[in-house]
Structure 1
Amino acid sequence: MQDNLKKTLNYTTIKLTAWYLAIIMTMSIIFSFAIFQISSSEMEMRLSDYSNNLLSYIRVENYDLSNSLSERIEAYKRQLILVLIYLNIAILGAGGLTSFWFAKRILKPIEEAHIAQGRFISDASHELRTPLASMQAEIEVILRDKNATKADLIETLDSNLEEVKKLTNLSSLLLNLSKLSTNGSLKKEKTDIVEIINQAISSQKKLSDRIEVSYPKEDIKAITNKDALIQIISIITDNALKYSKPNSKIKISLTKTKNVPFNISISNQGIGIKEDQIPYIFNRFYQASNSRTTSIKGKGYGLGLSIAKELADKLNLEILVTSKINQTTIFSIISHNKS
């Protein structure tokens, strides 16, 4: 697939370069022709005026001035043609290189999008295949076991139900990502940030008692999209709960400054994220190596933070991450929108 894509892009690059070069050379030849005509006419007029002025002062016997004039004009034209040919050759070389550079630059986002799409499809297929393979294996084992009891069947069904829930969750995440990629900007309005945080915490249900919140005394309102910000906070809080030490507290604080309408900080005490992996945690299906090697019940697919980042970009929010391995990880959601 990648080879076919590379061949297609190379062919398109060459084709686009040829079109650019054809346009450049067409314009160059047209201008060269115009320069030749104008320069030749100007030269003929000047030499004609010069010869007429010369003849009015002197008389030269047996000297054909018209032939001399024609020879000078022809020599000038030949020299001008030679200069224009060299100029067009130089334009052809420079234009070819420039056209190729522009073609590569224009096609680069398309190439990156195709590569990202291929990687996304591959990763999604892998994530979908894993629970399906698990379900198939469990069903085949229970069908072969002639001595299977009702309890064994119930256990298998429970396990399959968990896998179905995972598939449902994954399909919902993929659908959300698809919508984010196709939809335009989100509608924004002035909203109470404290209310948004409270709603995001309430979505955690049984685990909400592990969350400690600190709010400033004054009300903080900002222009944003309420539902999108709730989802961002919920995703980051959910991750903080998953990758924290058992029964440890998740701390959420809200602050504001003169230039920052609000800053929502979400921190936990857990496994942490390696510094060199932080730039990649918002990539689709990416999971830090220390999260892969840690047995965590309900571990996600590496899509949540990708959704949070895309929503944040649409809301002009910045998500900063700082982390120390096996200590504290802090996600800061910072607004730069003036209220």
Structure 2
Amino acid sequence: MSDPTMIENLPVFAFEAVFQHHPLGMWVVELNSLEIVQANQAAVKAYGYAPEEWTALTLMDLCIIEENQLREAFSRHASFAGGKEYVFVRKDQSALIVDLSWQVFQEGKVLLTAREVVREGSQLLSPLERMTELSRMIRAEHGLEAIQTLTQEVQQRMGEALQAAQVGIWEWDQISGQVLWDEQTAFLMGMALEEFDGRIESFNLRVHPDDLEGVGQAILQAREQQNPFEKSFRVKAPEGQHRWVMSRGRFDYTPEGVAYRMTGVILDISARIQAETALRESEKRLRELMDAQKRFIADAAHELRTPLTAIQGNLDIFLRYPNIPEDEKMDILTEVQREASRLGRLVNDMLQLARGDAGAALREEEVQLDQVMTEMWKDISRVVPFHHLILTEVEPVQVVGDHDRLKQLVLILLENALKYTPEGGTVTGSLKRKGHHVELRIADTGYGISEEDLPRVFERFYRADRSRQRGEDPGGTGLGLPIAKWIVEGHKGKIWLESELGAGTVAVVQLPLEESRFS
């Protein structure tokens, strides 16, 4: 901040321009009578007196201090750059605290500049009745007692307001390096007030290591640019976690522009950060759901169009050419039946996923998972004569879950393994306890999945290279694994595939053994 007391050295026309447009309240005062000769625009705006009213006032009409004390201050310091606070009164008798600087110049005149310390509307000051009484006491030569009383009230109310707002205050001496905290600041920094030794290093130890450099850079930038300081960062809480705080402050400078003190406040913003984080996550999740919905609609339209087109095309041929040979008619009807079956499976799978997206609840019942797996293995073995189906180890395991959905899960994984395994290949299954989980594994000796395709196998309608599918119509809809994932996650479990191109695939499911709680 530039030194306002230096403008008296300007030429008259320049002085008037700088004086009137200076952002701080300024007055020219007669040194002997303390009569106000002139006030600038900032003073007119801040103190409520019209421009023509100022010449009828003295400085004592504004400043709550004994006249002889003010004269003595002027006589001791012909030039004073600020650092001492005075109580000033506006026209409406409201009060504020200012940091007053002055310069004696121009044949016994004084140029004064007031920087407001406590903002208008603050609850830290006395009410009108108390300020009026203090003014009366001062003018009755009880000024010292009144100022002390006012100072005590201001300090008390400031402390009460800051405590109610859970705001801590601090001060950092730039010369000695000592830091002063109040009790609230110590609490927010995660320590007791008596534990703080006043060293800036103690502050640094409380700041999260990842944020410390940013805090230092913000302080340095504020000091070099003479701007207010503001920074959010994390501090270590006593319980071992971290809380988010925001600190704001400003530097005080000598007339030479050297920072000698920094004062500020600190407040807890953990709740705000948590809310902002939750909002960002919610927005991200919403965008993902919207993107997934768009993809689902586009993919569903394509998948539904394919069998419908085949059905419509074959029926058109059947009706347009009634005299075609019987064997060709039979081929057409067989194709229509196959596409209709495919369409039915697709619609059923889509409805099931839609119910899952809508939050359809899963049943909770005791399920003997080993029996479910054994039964499904026997049922599939009867209708798949060209593969080797082997159960290696199936431990007796009981879980809490939805019996029908778990049965569907085993069927999806088993059919998926058979679909991508050529005739003569082997599909192996196992069920074992592992800690607090049960692990179900179904491995095949099929074509495997490329590294590029593996991360996307649980996406809806996504299929790996169709050339690796066994047969002309493997019966898949591209929704089997997404349904399996929904079932597993509904049971608070995990599912993933382990695969290598040309070396087969292993589907792994882990389900908790403790009681499930469905969302």
TM-score normalised by L of structure 2: 0.47
Task: Give the corresponding residue for 2:8.
Answer: none
Q: 1:223 to 1:294 in 2, by over 3 A?
A: closer
Matched, 1:169 2:334: no
Which is worse superposed, 126-135 or 108-117? Answer: 108-117
Greater RCO, 1 or 2 (C-alpha within 8 Å, sep 6+) = 1
Matched, 1:38 2:100: no
What is the alpha-carbon distance in structure 2 between the residues aligned to residue 264 and residue 42 of structure 1?
Answer: 75
Structure 2 residue identity aligned to 1:229? L
Question: What whole-Å deviation, never above 9, does each CA across 1:107-147 have from its counterpart, x for those lacking one?
Answer: 44333323222221111111111112122223334445465
Name stretches of at least 5 consecutive residues in structure 1 with no aligned partner.
1-33, 59-86, 88-97
Matches within 5 A, 1:172-321: 172-204=348-380, 205-207=382-384, 210-216=388-394, 219-260=396-437, 262-288=438-464, 290-291=465-466, 294=469, 296=471, 297-321=473-497
Larger radius of gyration: 2
| 1:41 positional shift | 3.6
Preserved CA contact (<8 Å) 1:200 1:231: no
Structure 1 residue identity aligned to 2:400? I
Any idea what SS the aligned residue of 1:38 has? Answer: coil
Preserved CA contact (<8 Å) 1:203 1:234: no
Task: Give the corresponding residue for 2:221.
Answer: none
Preserved CA contact (<8 Å) 1:267 1:329: yes
Give 1 or 2: higher strand fraction. Answer: 2
The structure 1 residue matched to 2:296, chosen from 111, 120, 137, is: 120
| 1:328 positional shift | 2.0
Task: Give the corresponding residue for 2:180.
Answer: none
| 1:331 positional shift | 0.5
What is the alpha-carbon distance in structure 1 between the residues aligned to residue 397 and residue 311 of structure 2?
Answer: 48
| 1:181 positional shift | 1.9
Structure 2 residue identity aligned to 1:174? M
Preserved CA contact (<8 Å) 2:398 2:513: no
The structure 2 residue matched to 1:136, chosen from 312, 321, 324, is: 312
Q: How many residues align?
A: 275
Any idea what SS the aligned residue of 2:123 has? Answer: helix
Matches within 5 A, 1:76-87: none
Structure 2 residue identity aligned to 1:56? E
Percent of aligned positions that are identical: 24
Task: Give the corresponding residue for 1:25.
Answer: none
Q: 1:183 to 1:271 in 2, by over 3 A?
A: same
Any idea what SS the aligned residue of 1:285 has? Answer: coil
| 1:172 positional shift | 1.1
What is the alpha-carbon distance in structure 1 between the residues aligned to residue 361 and residue 415 of structure 2?
Answer: 25
TM-score normalised by L of structure 1: 0.69
What is the alpha-carbon distance in structure 2 between the residues aligned to residue 303 and residue 148 of structure 1?
Answer: 37
What is the alpha-carbon distance in structure 2 between the residues aligned to residue 271 and residue 327 of structure 1?
Answer: 6
Preserved CA contact (<8 Å) 1:173 1:303: yes
Structure 2 residue identity aligned to 1:237? L
Which is worse superposed, 130-139 or 142-151? Answer: 142-151
Preserved CA contact (<8 Å) 1:271 1:291: no
| 1:227 positional shift | 1.3
What is the alpha-carbon distance in structure 2 between the residues aligned to residue 44 and residue 38 of structure 1?
Answer: 14
What is the alpha-carbon distance in structure 2 between the residues aligned to residue 198 and residue 259 of structure 1?
Answer: 22
Structure 1 residue identity aligned to 2:123? I
| 1:105 positional shift | 5.5
Preserved CA contact (<8 Å) 2:429 2:440: yes
Q: 1:214 to 1:169 in 2, by over 3 A?
A: same
Structure 2 residue identity aligned to 1:235? I
Preserved CA contact (<8 Å) 1:193 1:222: yes
- The CA RMSD over aligned residues, in Å, is 3.9
Matched, 1:49 2:134: yes
Structure 2 residue identity aligned to 1:311? I
Q: 1:153 to 1:335 in 2, by over 3 A?
A: same
Any idea what SS the aligned residue of 2:441 has? Answer: strand
Q: 1:37 to 1:233 in 2, by over 3 A?
A: same
What is the alpha-carbon distance in structure 1 between the residues aligned to residue 297 and residue 500 of structure 2?
Answer: 33
Give 1 or 2: higher helix fraction. Answer: 1
Preserved CA contact (<8 Å) 2:422 2:470: no
Preserved CA contact (<8 Å) 1:273 1:325: yes
Structure 2 residue identity aligned to 1:251? T
What is the alpha-carbon distance in structure 2 between the residues aligned to residue 106 and residue 192 of structure 1?
Answer: 38
